[in-house]
Amino acid sequence: MPTATRQIAWVYDLNKCIGCQTCSVACKVLWTRDEDEKHEWWMSVNTQPGLGTPKNWENMGGGIDAKTGKPKPGHQPTRGEFGGGFDFNYHEVFYGGTGGKAHLEPQAPREDRWAMNWDEDQGAGEWPNSYYFYLPRMCNHCTNPGCVDACPTGALSKGEFGLVLRDEDVCMGDRFCMEVCPYKKIYFNYERHVAQQCIGCFPRIEAGVAPACVRQCPGRAVFVGYLDEEGSPVYNLVRKWKIALPLKGEAGTGPNVFYVPPLSPYKLKDDMSIDYETPRIPPEYLESLFGPLVHQALTTLKSEMDTVRNGGSSEMMKTLIAYKWQELLGPFTVDPAGIEQVGSAAGG
Amino acid sequence: MKVAKVSAPAAELADPAAAVWRGVPSESVSLAPVPLAAQPTEYIRQAWANKAYGRTSEAMVAAASDGQRLYLRLEWEDDEKPNGEFQDAVAGVFPADGDAPLATLGDANKPLAVWYWEPGRAGPLNLTARGPGVFHKDNSAALSANGALNERRWSVVISGPAAAAKAGKVGVAVWNGSNEERAGLAAVSRDWLKLELA
């Protein structure tokens, strides 16, 4: 594993993500437009709590055992568990002549239907205390990537910028990477017979352009940058203020995508008065995703927000609000309109 | 085993059901799983520590040549379980360099040439194997293949340059898709089958 490379990292502020999926679509139109990639969502945003994509991924195993350092067996996600990539009955709806009788539907039996965000906005809890938040997910470009070690052909590597990159000419489609990945963010292309996943917009990064997911986010909810760049938003959020946390850190692969955990409204009591002691998103649920440091992170966030509410100033809040959009992009501020683009993502 | 010298049209020889193959004697080879300890990554060794693989015990091999190409006809029995994410596959293997180990599909220093076929891929793959699943795609040899499944028996013909027979021996590897076998998780012939050009 190369150690001299700097590590790129992402930070998603879950207090700002509105689940608009612009990041997911930005990635898709750039990288997975081909017919054989229809079902692949290298960037995806799920509703938590929820089964997400692939369906029930949190219980599919994989990862690295913290005590032994050995990789843990994982489930091979099926095409059906990813779902999506449906054919639709456009012709019937638009030209079939049956008026309102034909509805646009996935051409798959109801019991087989699942897709990237199928359970979007369902969440959990009972009215008036239901709750959910959005969780953008992508390849975590882990520091200790189980996928790289599991691959028998050497198709995967931990490379430049700290990205996990792959060679489709070498990949035999063995898919041990998919089993060991605890995040289940590797997809299989059944036509090309290769495993595919987010490449961190590597060609853009090389040209100094921020990844599409970061640049396109209308909510200014995601930061990118080098983890070791002191004074940068990513460094401050992860290492200095420690309010950006890894997802499922106990999986042992050292993910480099971090999350500022979501605050939530207070619960309402039975008499509809506000329970100022209890947030609607159960802290234990957040701990199950982001680990025990999540409680301090939320306390710190609330404290900094209070400081600003009371007329004080907070570097942390200034960073998170991102008054200047460019601050989200780290050192990758080149405008993609100005660089030469080669090849086509659509149809070869 | 003799490589039968045949002068039938290529299209006939390429068809495992063609009559020409009835005149070519086939031999049974006994298969055994590639050892777990030889699997190239810790993940594979962990994940398959308690899972049996490579239980296809036998394959039938026949070989013919029209002077230009070597045709390998391979036949084996599939199990009754349906395939899910992985397909059945078969390969004819030749030593690329003298005494490459067959049981591990080659090693780092002694590779095998592998003629690999799997339904659902665009065509057969010409691979260099340096261990179980340590495969590298080599585009140089022009391979062709046809396969058919009849009542749980696969029969496949893979053909390539006749020069492959000069290695003087051939082995077989079989992957059972319903058991999620791929890479080094295969049943491989216990011994090389000698190839004698007729």
Per-residue pLDDT of A133-171, as tens digits, reads: 999 999 999 999 999 999 999 999 999 999 999 999 999
Place of tokens 């296809």: B56
- What is the predicted pLDDT for the residue at A2? 47
Q: Are B126 and B139 in contact (CB under 8 A)?
A: yes
Specify whether the backbone of A265 is left (phi greater than 0), alpha (psi in -120 to 50) or beta. beta
Q: Is the pLDDT of residue B108 over 50?
A: yes
Per-residue pLDDT of B172-196, as tens digits, reads: 999 999 999 999 999 999 999 999 9
Per-residue pLDDT of A107-134, as tens digits, reads: 988 888 999 999 999 999 999 999 999 9
- What is the predicted pLDDT for the residue at A1? 47
- What is the predicted pLDDT for the residue at A344? 55
- What is the predicted pLDDT for the residue at A237? 98
Report chain B residues whose CB lies below 8 A from the CB of A188: 85
Q: Which of A43-47, A97-101, A250-254 has the lowest mean pLDDT?
A: A97-101
Per-residue pLDDT of B30-76, as tens digits, reads: 999 999 999 999 999 999 999 999 999 999 999 999 999 999 999 99
A151 touches chain B (CB under 8 A): yes
Place of tokens 């996990």: A164
Average pLDDT over residues A271-287: 97
Q: Do A170 and B137 touch (CB under 8 A)?
A: yes
- ipTM score: 0.96
Average pLDDT over residues A87-100: 91
Please state, as a whole number, how many other Cβ atoms lie within 10 Å of the Cβ of residue B82: 7
- The angle subtended at Cα B43 by Cα B39 and Cα B44, nearest 5°, is 35
Closest CB to B43: pick one of A150, A170, A193.
A150
User: What is the pLDDT confidence band of residue A225, given thresholds at 50, 70 and 90?
Assistant: very high
- DSSP for residue A301: H
B107 touches chain A (CB under 8 A): no
State which amino acid sits at residue A329. Answer: L
**Closest CA relative to residue A15, chosen from A319, A298, A261:** A261
Q: Is A54 exposed, middle or buried (0-12, 13-18, 19+ CB in 10 A)?
A: buried
Average pLDDT, chain A: 95
Residues 6+ apart with CB under 8 A from A161: A5, A6, A7, A8, A200, A202, A205
A103 touches chain B (CB under 8 A): no
Report the residue of chain B nearest A73, measured CA to CA: B47
Q: Do A193 and B120 touch (CB under 8 A)?
A: yes
Q: Do B40 and A152 touch (CB under 8 A)?
A: yes
Report chain A residues whose CB lies below 8 A from the CB of B137: 169-170, 172
B84 touches chain A (CB under 8 A): yes
Report the residue of chain A nearest B125, measured CA to CA: A172
B32 touches chain A (CB under 8 A): no
Query: What does pTM read for this prediction?
Result: 0.95
- What is the predicted pLDDT for the residue at A340? 82
Helices and strands (H and E) in chain A: how many? 11, 12
A172 touches chain B (CB under 8 A): yes
Name A131's bridge partners: A124
Average pLDDT over residues B149-166: 95
- What is the predicted pLDDT for the residue at A343? 64
Q: Do B133 and A152 touch (CB under 8 A)?
A: yes
Q: Which of A56-65, A132-141, A334-343, B48-57 has the lowest mean pLDDT?
A: A334-343
